[in-house]
Amino acid sequence: MSSSGTIIQIQADDGGAFDAYLAPPPAEPGPALVLVQEIFGITGWVKETADMFAAEGYMVAAPDMFWRLEPNFVADHDAPEQRRRGLAYRGEIDHGKGVSDIGALLRHLCGLPACNGRKAVTGFCLGGTFAYLSSARLEIDKAVSYYGTQIHEFLGEGKNIGCPLMMHMGEHDDAFPAEDRNRIHAALIGIPHVSIYMYDAGHAFCNTHRPSHYAAEEARKAHERTLTFFGSLK
Q: Which helix H or strand E contains 11, and what residues bound it?
A: strand 6-11
Cα 223 versus chain centre, distance: 13
Residues 6+ apart with CB under 8 A from 70: 85, 89
Rounded CA-CA distance 190/40 in Å is 33
Residues 6 or more apart in contact with residue 21 via CB below 8 angstroms: 3, 5, 6, 7, 42, 46, 47, 50, 61, 62
Residue closest to 36 by CA, chosen among 105, 82, 139: 105
Q: From the candidates 203, 209, 213, 223, which is the catalytic residue?
A: 203
Residue 40 DSSP class:
T
**Which stretch of DSSP H or E encloses residue 17?**
strand 17-22
Give the whole-angstrom CA distance, residue 118 versus residue 169. 26
- Annotated catalytic residue 174: no
Q: Catalytic site residue 141?
A: no
64, 101, 141, 173: the catalytic one is 173
Long-range contacts of 16-19 (CB under 8 A, 24+ apart): 16/67, 16/68, 18/63, 18/64, 18/67, 18/71, 18/101, 19/63, 19/64, 19/67, 19/71, 19/72
Distance (Å, whole) CA 137 – CA 150: 16
Which residues are known to be catalytic?
173, 203
